Amino acid sequence: GVRHEPTNKIVLDLERLYDDASEELAYVARYARAIQQQRGDYNGRVLSIRADDLRSLAIVYDSSPSGLIERLTEHGVLVADPRALFAS
């Protein structure tokens, strides 16, 4: 069968993503907007995305899923624990 890289749930911080002015994340932002639209999920501060979609996005960036996760981490747009965002 298909081998999957072990990944935790990928949760994007939408505020940071949409505020990020760098050209580098433009495709991720566009993708997130499309997913919000498909789900009708407009009011969230965060968005959980499919591992499959991360794989597709990685191809766009000529990277691996873990490589893309690294970039997203560098830009500070990944949420490690979404519940912590709402705790304070």
Choose, by CB under 6 A, the member of 15, 50, 64, 80 that binds ligand C2E. Answer: 50
Q: Does 70 bind ligand C2E (CB under 6 A)?
A: no
3 vs 83, which CB is nearer to ligand C2E? 83
61 vs 85, which CB is nearer to ligand C2E? 85
Q: Does 30 bind ligand C2E (CB under 6 A)?
A: no
DSSP single-letter state for residue 76: T
- 58, 82, 77: which is closest to 4 by C-alpha? 58
Angle 26-39/51-60 helices, nearest 10 degrees? Answer: 150
Shortest spacing between CB 65 and ligand C2E, in angstroms = 11
List of residues contacting ligand C2E (CB under 6 A): 9, 11, 35, 38-41, 44, 46-53, 82-83
